[in-house]
């Protein structure tokens, strides 16, 4: 099986360790990985802000990059970016020459935990992490992809990790792309509500499958002086021997 | 003839003349104030959580809920595709039963129709049951102002609406108008009316309101109601209420006026089995609301109750402009409020921050559609696009996709800020060129060095201040993933 890595731009630029952990986990499972030349961004920031033409240009570039070969799957450590390609490319290219192209590419895109559990059939990666954690499911992953249980199943198999419930776990963290900058007060209040729930749960670690939600929540946690550890699912699954991936 | 207001006043209020009531720009500023009000947050969170818990329980217990939702969507889709035909059918059915029908293009036409009717009938007291359509056109204020000579006493009789009216407030939620108030605030307002201190006890406050409202029900000359559904086949107006005030408004006064948005039509009586099952469950978490009221024309011969005279006003007010457009689905709304209850933004701000009669996700969608993009520029952006609204909508309106389309329409109409236009042109250029991506991100890594404090980018001026004002901004990593890949992982 040949798999192309879809590494979101902010993972590439800000959290490359998440990409590295994903690579290590997938290699451990014997997956043949390719990182296609010329990857940039999926175009979601422009799309979410209503700049559909600009998003289409970037999407066309993305499709060019990922159509170079007929890879079996395109795997992404972000439910949100995976959704952009699998759901919203067909949306922006509806009734356009790229309709078919965007749909067939979309079918091959899989969010990381979805790929592990539903394609590879793996739940236990032999990871070891000492701590108690809550899982924040990004909204695209929850609602557009419906990949809700997979990350939890993976986390439950991690030795030493206690997965806790937390209040109102279905509430959005308030990131929302440019929403976080355009409506900063409301966005921050949304983050604060998540943080209150995190503190109340007693967990020492916050895990998500989306680095963008984590950037938002950890940005607020740090500003407020809270010390919770904030990690991507891939980093937890890549941890062992007392080391975090 | 109704009295025209002096032209200066009209100018100041021109914006409010038509479309949806009140000023709608400035979500951000109102949102900021709302977020600072923790009482407001707690009241909103408490009430909406109660609605959501109830809704989840009763919809969860309904095995065919997903099928009902699909049927509701298709019924509405079919209705909108043939709305002209169904409107004619509705009008004929109501007229055949002895009712009067009036097509109102906008709020002004409704005001004139009801004002003239009130003058003709020598009306003193008008009772109203809950109606968002009349809120939308600010019926009360405009009747009082434009027909000042009649000295009309217009009384809202839904408990929440009445309290809002007494407080000079507007509803902040489609079905819970004063959901933003707690019982202490309500006690203060009603104490003012009672002329004595009333305790913040819900039962006692309700008893007081009941006594006061009962007098009005018995003396009203005209009763005005909204409509939850209008059945084209039979001409039946369906109102769904919990307080019993609806029946007292529609059947006690000699004249009953219905103000109904044209999108409330459903073709057949049997379609009600779909919508009535969904409405109360989605709204309040009840299987059925306490009263489901069917009014088909005025009191007929040999009938014991009902108004002597019935008028159905079918209000357009911008709705028909949406037919056949990518925004038509916004007309499928049955005003249950489920999208407000699950919305994390509404949860933080309450309804008034939206500055429109309609708040929450559906308000953010229909306000710019009915009132114009310029008048509600902030609203399509007052969402993190989490999609909880679309998931909750009992008729399957893709609310967050409509918000995206509205954002796109703003961009296409040149309404996005210059700075944002430039930024996304730059984004487009950079992201379609891997070489430019590499060069500019490398430049970013160099440029950020003097800005780093304790592992984060220090608070910045300009557009990013929206982020750095309240959250740490992580720096660009020393080596991007692409470099680590090249070096070997």
**Each residue's pLDDT tens digit in chain B (489 positions)?**
343 333 334 333 443 344 454 444 589 889 999 999 999 999 999 999 999 999 999 999 999 999 999 999 999 999 999 999 999 999 999 999 999 999 999 999 999 999 999 999 999 999 999 999 999 999 999 999 999 999 999 999 999 999 999 999 999 999 999 999 999 999 999 999 999 999 999 999 999 999 999 999 999 999 999 999 999 999 999 999 999 999 999 999 999 999 999 999 999 999 999 999 999 999 999 999 999 999 999 999 999 889 999 999 999 999 999 999 999 999 999 999 999 999 999 999 999 999 999 999 999 999 999 999 998 999 999 999 999 999 999 999 999 999 999 999 999 999 999 999 999 999 999 999 999 999 999 999 999 999 998 889 988 887 788 899 999 999 999 999 999 999 999
Instruction: Tell me whether strands B309-315 and B291-295 are parallel, antiparallel or unpaired.
Output: unpaired
Q: How many residue pairs bridge chain A and chain B with CB atoms within 8 Å of each other? A: 198
Measure CB to CB from residue B470 to each of A61, A144, A188 and give the nearest one: A188
Q: Which of B437, B444, B438, B443 is nearest to B473 (CA)?
A: B444
Which residues in chain B touch residue A31, judged by CB atoms under 8 angstroms apart?
A: none
Q: How far is CA B320 from its chain centroid? A: 18
Q: Which residue has the tokens 């696009």?
A: B385
- Residue B229 backbone class (left: φ over 0; alpha: ψ -120 to 50; beta: rest): beta
**Residue of chain A whose Cα is closest to the Cα of B466:** A181
What span, in angstroms and rounded, lies between the C-alpha atoms of A61 and A78? 19
Window 4-63 of B: residues touching A by CB (8 A cutoff) are 27-28, 31-32, 35, 41
**Residue of chain B whose Cα is closest to the Cα of A62:** B432
Cβ–Cβ gap A184/B381 under 8 Å: no
Minimal C-alpha gap between A58 and chain B (Å): 5
Measure CB to CB from residue A223 to each of B345, B472, B477 and give the nearest one: B472
Which residues in chain A touch residue B387, judged by CB atoms under 8 angstroms apart?
A: 139-140, 142-144
Confidence at residue A242, expressed as pLDDT on a 0 to 100 scale: 66
Confidence at residue B16, expressed as pLDDT on a 0 to 100 scale: 38
Confidence at residue B461, expressed as pLDDT on a 0 to 100 scale: 80
> Across the strands, what pairs with B257?
B224, B311
**Residue of chain B whose Cα is closest to the Cα of A168:** B49
Cβ–Cβ gap A181/B434 under 8 Å: no
**Residue of chain B whose Cα is closest to the Cα of A146:** B391
Cβ–Cβ gap A51/B32 under 8 Å: no
Angle between helices B418-431 and B434-447 (to 10 degrees): 120
Confidence at residue A97, expressed as pLDDT on a 0 to 100 scale: 97
Minimal C-alpha gap between A123 and chain B (Å): 23
Confidence at residue A17, expressed as pLDDT on a 0 to 100 scale: 98
Window 451-480 of B: residues touching A by CB (8 A cutoff) are 456, 463-464, 466-467, 469-477, 479-480
Instruction: Tell me whether strands B229-231 and B236-241 are parallel, antiparallel or unpaired.
Output: antiparallel
Which residues in chain A touch residue B474, judged by CB atoms under 8 angstroms apart?
A: 14-15, 215, 218-219
What does the H/E/C string look like for chain B?
A: CCCCCCHHHHHHCHHHHCCCCCCCCCHHHHHHHHHHCHHHHHHHHHHHHHHHHHHHHHHHCCCCHHHHHHHHHHHHHHHHHCHHHHHHHHHHHHHHCCCEEEEECCHHHHHHHHHHHHHHCCCCEEEECCCHHHHHCCHHHHHHHHCHHHCCEEEECCHHHHHHHHCCCCCCCCCCCCCCCCHHHHHHHHHHHHCCCCCCCHHHHHHHHHHHHHHHHHHCCEEEECCCEEECCCCEEEEEECCCHHHHHHHCCCEEEEEEEHHHEECCHHHHHHHHHHHHHHHCCCCCCCEEEEECCCCCCCCCCCCCEEEEEEECCCHHHHCCCCCHHHHHCCCCCHHHHHCHHHHHHCCHHHCCCCCHHHHHHHHHHHHCCHHHCCHHHCCCCCCHHHHHCCCCCCHHHHHHHHHHHHHHCCCCCHHHHHHHHHHHHHHCCHHHHHHHHHHHHHHCHHHEECCEECCCCHHHHHHHCCCCECCCCCCCHHHHHHHCC
HSE-CB at B11 with a 13 A cutoff on CA atoms is: 3
Minimal C-alpha gap between A97 and chain B (Å): 19
Rg, Å, chain B Cα set: 26
Which residues in chain B touch residue A11, judged by CB atoms under 8 angstroms apart?
A: 481
**Any A CB within 8 A of B448 CB:** no
Q: How far is CA A234 from its chain centroid? A: 9
Cβ–Cβ gap A50/B430 under 8 Å: no
Instruction: Give me the domains of chain B, ranges plus CATH numbers.
Output: 60-268+294-321 (3.40.50.10420), 418-487 (no CATH)
Minimal C-alpha gap between A144 and chain B (Å): 8
What span, in angstroms and rounded, lies between the C-alpha atoms of A236 and A124? 12
Instruction: Give me the domains of chain A, ranges plus CATH numbers.
Output: 2-119 (3.40.50), 128-237 (3.40.50)
**Any A CB within 8 A of B66 CB:** no
Which residues in chain B touch residue A33, judged by CB atoms under 8 angstroms apart?
A: none
Q: Which of A47, A33, A38 is nearest to A76 (CA)?
A: A33
**Each residue's pLDDT tens digit in chain A (245 positions)?**
899 999 999 999 999 999 999 999 999 999 999 999 999 999 999 999 999 999 999 999 999 999 999 999 999 999 999 999 999 999 999 999 999 999 999 999 999 999 999 999 999 999 999 999 999 999 999 999 999 999 999 999 999 999 999 999 999 999 999 999 999 999 999 999 999 999 999 999 999 999 999 999 999 999 999 999 999 999 999 999 767 87
C-beta separation of B257 from B313 below 8 A: yes
Minimal C-alpha gap between B441 and chain A (Å): 8
Which residues in chain B touch residue A181, judged by CB atoms under 8 angstroms apart?
A: 463-464, 466-467
Minimal C-alpha gap between B127 and chain A (Å): 38
Cβ–Cβ gap A187/B384 under 8 Å: yes
What span, in angstroms and rounded, lies between the C-alpha atoms of B99 and B97? 6
Cβ–Cβ gap B434/A139 under 8 Å: no
Q: Please state, in angstroms and as integers, the Cα–Cα distance from residue B244 to each residue in A120, B129, B216, B241, B293, following that order.
A: 59, 10, 14, 7, 10
Q: Which of A61, A31, A186, A205 is nearest to A131 (CA)?
A: A205
């Amino acid at each position: 099986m040949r798999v192309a890595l879809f590494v979101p731009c902010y993972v590439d630029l800000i959290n490359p360790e998440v990409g590295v952990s994903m690579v290590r986990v997938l290699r451990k499972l014997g997956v043949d990985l390719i990182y296609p030349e010329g990857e940039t961004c999926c175009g979601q920031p422009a799309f979410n802000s209503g700049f559909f033409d600009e998003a289409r240009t970037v999407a066309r570039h993305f499709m060019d990059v990922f159509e170079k070969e007929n890879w079996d799957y395109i795997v992404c450590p972000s439910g949100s970016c995976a959704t952009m390609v699998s759901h919203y490319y067909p949306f922006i290219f509806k009734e356009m020459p790229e309709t078919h192209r965007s749909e067939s590419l979309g079918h091959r895109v899989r969010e990381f935990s979805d790929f592990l559990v539903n394609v590879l059939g793996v739940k236990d990666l032999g990871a070891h992490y000492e701590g108690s954690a809550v899982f924040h499911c990004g909204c695209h992953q929850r609602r557009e992809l419906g990949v809700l249980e997979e990350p939890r199943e993976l986390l439950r198999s991690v030795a030493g990790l206690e997965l806790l419930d937390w209040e109102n776990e279905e509430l959005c963290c308030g990131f929302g792309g440019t929403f976080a900058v355009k409506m900063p007060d409301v966005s921050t209040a949304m983050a604060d509500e998540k943080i209150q729930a995190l503190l109340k749960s007693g967990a020492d670690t916050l895990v998500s499958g989306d680095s963008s939600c984590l950037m938002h929540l950890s940005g607020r946690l740090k500003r407020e002086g809270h010390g919770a550890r904030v990690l991507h699912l891939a980093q937890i699954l890549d941890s062992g021997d007392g080391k975090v991936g | 003839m109704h009295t025209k207001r002096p032209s200066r006043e009209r100018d100041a209020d021109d914006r409010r003349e038509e479309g949806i009531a009140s000023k709608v720009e400035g979500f951000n500023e109102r949102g900021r104030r709302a977020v600072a009000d923790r009482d407001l947050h707690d009241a909103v969170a408490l009430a909406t959580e109660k609605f959501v818990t109830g809704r989840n329980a009763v919809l969860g217990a309904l095995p065919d809920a997903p099928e009902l939702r699909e049927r509701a969507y298709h019924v509405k889709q079919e209705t909108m595709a043939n709305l002209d035909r169904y409107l004619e059918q509705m009008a004929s059915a109501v007229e055949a039963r002895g009712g009067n029908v009036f097509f109102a293009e906008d709020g002004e036409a409704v005001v004139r129709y009801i004002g003239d009717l009130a003058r003709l009938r020598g009306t003193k007291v008008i009772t109203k049951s809950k109606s968002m359509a009349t809120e939308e056109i600010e019926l009360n204020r405009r009747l009082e102002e434009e027909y000042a000579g009649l000295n009309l006493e217009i009384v809202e009789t839904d408990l929440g609406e009445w309290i809002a009216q007494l407080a000079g407030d507007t509803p902040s939620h489609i079905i819970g108008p004063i959901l933003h108030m707690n019982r202490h605030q309500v006690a203060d307002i009603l104490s003012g009316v009672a002329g004595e201190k009333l305790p913040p006890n819900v039962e006692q406050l309700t008893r007081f309101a009941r006594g006061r409202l009962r007098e009005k029900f018995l003396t009203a000359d005209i009763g005005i109601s909204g409509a939850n559904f209008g059945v084209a086949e039979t001409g039946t107006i369906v109102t769904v209420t919990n307080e019993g005030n609806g029946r007292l408004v529609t059947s006690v006064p000699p004249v009953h006026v219905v103000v109904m948005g044209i999108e409330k039509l459903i073709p057949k009586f049997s379609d009600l089995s779909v919508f009535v099952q969904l409405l109360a469950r989605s709204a309040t978490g009840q299987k059925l609301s306490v009263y489901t009221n069917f009014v088909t024309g005025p009191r007929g011969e040999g009938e014991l109750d009902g108004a002597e005279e019935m008028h159905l006003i079918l209000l357009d007010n911008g709705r028909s402009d949406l037919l056949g457009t990518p925004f038509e689905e916004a007309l499928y709304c049955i005003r249950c409020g489920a999208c407000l209850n699950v919305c994390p933004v509404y949860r933080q701000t309450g309804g008034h921050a939206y500055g429109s009669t309609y708040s929450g996700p559906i308000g953010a969608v229909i306000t710019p559609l009915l009132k114009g993009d310029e008048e509600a520029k902030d609203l399509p952006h007052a969402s993190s696009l989490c999609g909880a609204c679309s998931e909750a909508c009992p008729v399957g309106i893709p609310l967050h996709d409509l918000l995206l389309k509205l954002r796109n329409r703003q961009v296409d109409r040149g309404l996005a800020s210059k700075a944002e236009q430039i930024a996304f042109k730059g984004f487009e250029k950079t992201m379609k060129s891997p070489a430019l991506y590499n060069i500019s991100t490398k430049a970013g890594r160099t440029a950020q060095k003097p800005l780093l404090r304790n592992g984060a980018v220090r608070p910045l001026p300009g557009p990013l201040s929206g982020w750095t004002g309240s959250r740490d901004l992580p720096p660009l990593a020393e080596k991007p993933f692409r470099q680590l890949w090249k070096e070997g992982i």
